[in-house]
Amino acid sequence: MSETPENTAPQAREHAARAGQLDAADPLGATVRDRFVLDDTVYLDGNSLGALPRAVPDRIADVITREWGELRIRSWDESGWWTAPERIGDKIAPLIGAAPGRVVVGDSTSINVFKAVVGGIRMAGKGCTEILVDATTFPTDGYIARSAARMTGLAVRPVEPARIADEVTERTALALVNHVDYRTGQLNDLPGITTALHSAGALAVWDLCHSAGALPVGVDAHHVDLAVGCTYKYLNGGPGSPSYLYVRESLQERFDSPLPGWNSHAEPFGMTPDYAPADGIVRGRVGTPDILSLLALEAALDVWDGVSIEDVRTKSLALTDFFLDCVAAYVPPGRVRSVTPQDHGRRGSQVSLACSPMRAGSVERGGTPIAAEVMAELIRRGVVGDFRHPDVLRFGFTPLYTSFADAERAAWVLGEVLRALPEEPAVAGAGR
């Protein structure tokens, strides 16, 4: 740690000591952290790409050299390749509060969003004319929802998540909502929104990309209809690892996938011209699965052995609270403000800070926003988060491997970087 300004030195010593105490008492602590390949970098971008679990390289080496290299085609049966999408789905299921047989893994998040939205529209009641889309959604979800609506003759209506309960009508087929806002880290009310949708006769389709593996979801308990999530963030499955699709058990018989493929056929090797869907969650499959990525994910999920998602949530909230305390102590007043809710019930597992000031006219003139420059400097100094346009510094906390010492160091380096910036007037309306 660099030399501290006089007014922050006592606070720095206090927070560093507190970080040590919290790490020593952490029930996840070193035992789980050691399951990952880490270095001296403070890695706070697990909400974009999780760290590498130690078990993955050897597993993939075996898949390549023995299962593919020696067994070859026999591995579809002898190595269990054929059943991997459902088997790995059952490993993800408890992390989102689902029973076995309700999650299938395969395809990209975008493809599974398409399946869920169109499949949901096909199950909706007659007379439905619209779908609601989270107005703050990750852009791809909105793009796919609009495309699905055009294909099915429905309209799309963007609605802020907090307003969905008031805006849903008997004409609404479904709502596609993000459980956690990717930009601000706000946790949306999955139980309340789902109940409101059902009361109006609409289905609830949830995007769990920024919540699964960071906090309890409870898809079964809250009667979620369909859900989709990626596996390369808090589930640490690797870059581009396959997505998953959840279909409520009572809906599986009615789920009519818009992408019927031979892998989801009741008799996949019958090669008949007519399509007959398989029973259960298997009908969420499409074509030949990406075996290398699937089996890397399966090995990555072993890090969850003996880990309670409730303990993960407890640590997540403690980490983000502690980080915010350190930011308040180390960062010059007025340079950042949190756009992540203080309320634990409305917070995911990230902290997003609107960074002021922004250089006047920098965006309009094609320049780089201050926040982008700050994040680039943080990364240069060994603290990895990410930047979201126009002014958000985003820090993701993955409780399986993020320590309280990491949180304290990140806040300290952020303070150093911001103290080095010249004072400039903030742009009105910066942030979100």
- Pick the catalytic residue from 207, 225, 290, 391: 207
Instruction: With beta carbons less than 8 A apart as the criterion, state whether 172 and 128 touch.
Output: yes
Q: Are 294 and 106 in contact (CB under 8 A)?
A: yes
3-state per-residue secondary structure call for 297-349: HHHHHHHHCCCCHHHHHHHHHHHHHHHHHHHHHHCCCCCEEECCCCCHHHECC
- For residues 161 and 190, the answer to whether their CB atoms sit within 8 Å is no
Q: Which two tokens stand for residue 424?
A: 């400039």
Give the active site residue among 233, 283, 315, 335: 233
Q: Judge whether 207 counts as a catalytic residue.
A: yes
115 as an active site residue: the answer is no
Beta bridge partners of 36: 53
Rg of the chain on CA atoms, in Å: 23
What are the distances in angstroms from CA 313 to CA 61, 108, 270, 400, 408?
Answer: 33, 26, 46, 10, 19
Nearest to 173 by CA among 133, 121, 211: 121
The helix (run of H) or strand (run of E) holding residue 174 is strand 172-178
232 catalytic? Reply is yes
Measure CA 142 to chain center.
16
Let me know: does 244 contact 103? Beta carbons within 8 Å: yes
* Interatomic CA distance for residues 130 and 120, integer angstroms: 12
What number of helices (H) and strands (E) belong to the chain?
A: 13, 13
DSSP secondary structure string for all residues of 220-248: TTTT--EEEE-SSSTT---TT---EEEE-
Candidate list 59, 87, 122, 138, residue with the active-site label: 138
Out of 45, 394, 395, 409, pick the active-site residue. Answer: 394
- Residue 402: φ, ψ to 5°: -80, 130
111 Cβ contact partners less than 8 Å away, ≥ 6 residues apart? 243, 259, 286
Q: What distance in Å separates the CA atoms of residue 406 and residue 23, rounded to the nearest whole number?
A: 10
Show which residues are catalytic. 138, 207, 232-233, 394
